[in-house]
Structure 1
Amino acid sequence: MELEMESSLGSQLKPVDQEVHDRSGRKKGGWITLPFIAGSMLGLGLAINGTTSNLLVYLLKEYNVESIDAAQIANIVRGSLNLVPVAGAVVSDSYFGCFPVILAATAINVLLVGIMAARKALLW
């Protein structure tokens, strides 16, 4: 019985180099995906820096926050925004998978942008 289990398990296991190739014979991942990941991280960095820089100016001009307090708030927001991809990766790998996490993050982003636009339209 034990020999049967080992042989059936052995037929299901594949060497690592065979798992890298999908059914069409093409290789997945590697250097092919590097430009996409680098572009995504570059865009994320630009968005975070632009957002927190504008937040700093907004805190100083609109809310009349002292400069040291505004800088501390902006740094806390910047640090939190830099940790969001790590949290998303942990949730994606541990619980849900790639596409549901991307879908949920996109829905939250669109919802927040809509709320901010509606609030701005109502205040003017």
Structure 2
Amino acid sequence: MLYRGSCHCGKVAFEFKARLTGVVRCNCSICSRKGALLCAVPHESLTVLAWADDLSTYTFGNHAIAHRFCRTCGIHPFAEDVREGSERSAYINLNCVEGIDISVLSIFDFDGRSA
């Protein structure tokens, strides 16, 4: 199914294709502070509709994930693997996606602090 989402102000918009069966709640230092509920999709399933200077990046630790956020409103709608190749993933913050009732999805707790 095709889903659409955005940051709060709408300057960073995106689409992705996925079959949503659950969400991941990661307890790493950044995901827990953001309150992100994530869905991992193949990177090629993500289409960013607004880019330019509106989208910024934050990395930390081993810099394996590029955490994307809107420079205007500060919302973190998704993150991306930075590795090369076809195995890259995008991690969508489902709190930024239109028309999803997260309360009906199973939540998988991921121990990102230990990873």
Q: TM-score, normalised by structure 2?
A: 0.17
Q: TM-score, normalised by structure 1?
A: 0.16
Larger strand proportion, structure 1 or 2? 2
Larger helix proportion, structure 1 or 2? 1
Q: Whose relative contact order is higher, 1 or 2, with alpha carbons under 8 Å and at least 6 apart?
A: 2
Structure of higher CA gyration radius: 1
